[in-house]
Homo-oligomer: A and B are copies of this chain.
Amino acid sequence: MEKKMVEVCYTPKDYEYFKGRFEIVVVIDVLRATSAICSALNNGVSAVIPVSTIDEAKTYQEKGYLVGAERQGEIVEGFDFGNSPYSYMKPELKGKEIVLSTTNGTRAINIAQEADQVIIGSLVNLEAITNYLIRQNKNVLCLCSGWKDKFNLEDTICGGAISETLINSGNFSSDEDSSVAAKYLYMSAKDNYMGFLKSSSHRRRLKRLNLNKDIKYCLTPNQIDLIPTLQNGKIVKLNN
């Protein structure tokens, strides 16, 4: 049986080099958009609507939606919350559709929309994601959200974790240097994500904003056993 591909793309800007070759795209924004989405669906939020711009977010707010909006790590003034996973654990959100716009994550989700299937990955739902992907046996691209079109360490490590696990299953292989490097970075990081990422630029950025509790949550793997997936422009829980 021919092996399926699993590759890691470092930024939404690089997506053009990978586009069209993968049935499933896993969008990753560990700090913090995709971790927050996992947290929201796990708390019973019925759907997260990802929007790219603050203007779109405002339009939804005017229609009465609860809207999260984050730029540069901070809540955008006038919105209900940012992208702290803890904001999405509140009981009043259960059963609701909410809207989210973030610096990098929601942009990556919208760019990936042309793929057959878009799922949302993070360290918090790593095992759920890899178990699912191994069963699907389709070509998989891990699309890192990066930071303003630049490489970031935590998303790359998560992509490396996914590809390493898929390759170890025996049915997948990687061809791109970006994937090989992501796997090596994951191997160096896996025993101590917090320590390894202490020099990551976004961790430093969030630490300055007193968001250490968020960082710890986002870097703790396998807390959530579900897979968010994009369906008709909304992120919902995949029934698998």
Bound CA–CA A181/B153 (angstroms): 7
Do A156 and B175 touch across chains, with their CB atoms under 8 A apart?
A: no
**B175, B188, B200: the one within 8 Å of A177 (CB):** B200
Do A17 and B175 touch across chains, with their CB atoms under 8 A apart? no
- Give A62-101 as 1s and 0s: 1 = Cβ < 8 Å from B's Cβ atoms: 0000000000000000000000000000000000000000
Chain B binder among A52-60, A110-118, A135-143, A144-152: A144-152
Say yes or no for A225: interface residue by CB 8 A criterion. Answer: no
- Contact between A181 and B178, CB atoms less than 8 A apart: no
**A185-B199 Cα distance, complex, nearest whole Å:** 15
Chain A residue total in the interface (Cβ 8 A): 25
Annotate A147-184 by CB proximity to B: 1 below 8 A, 0 otherwise.
10111110010000000000000000001111011001
Q: How far is the CA of A225 from the CA of B67 in the complex (A)?
A: 60
Contact partners of A14 in chain B: CB under 8 A: 150
Which residues on B sit within 8 Å (CB–CB) of A13?
13
- Report how far A177 CA is from B188 CA in the complex, Å: 15
The 7 closest A-B pairs by CB, nearest first: A153-B177, A151-B178, A152-B177, A180-B199, A177-B201, A184-B188, A151-B177
Which A residues form the contact surface with B (CB < 8 A)?
10, 13-14, 17, 147, 149-153, 156, 175-178, 180-181, 184-185, 187-188, 199-202
11 A-B residue contacts at CB 8 Å? Answer: A14-B150, A17-B150, A150-B177, A153-B177, A153-B180, A175-B201, A177-B201, A180-B199, A180-B201, A181-B185, A187-B188
Apart from A10-B151, A151-B177, 7 more pairs, CB < 8 Å: A14-B150, A176-B201, A177-B202, A180-B199, A181-B185, A187-B188, A188-B188
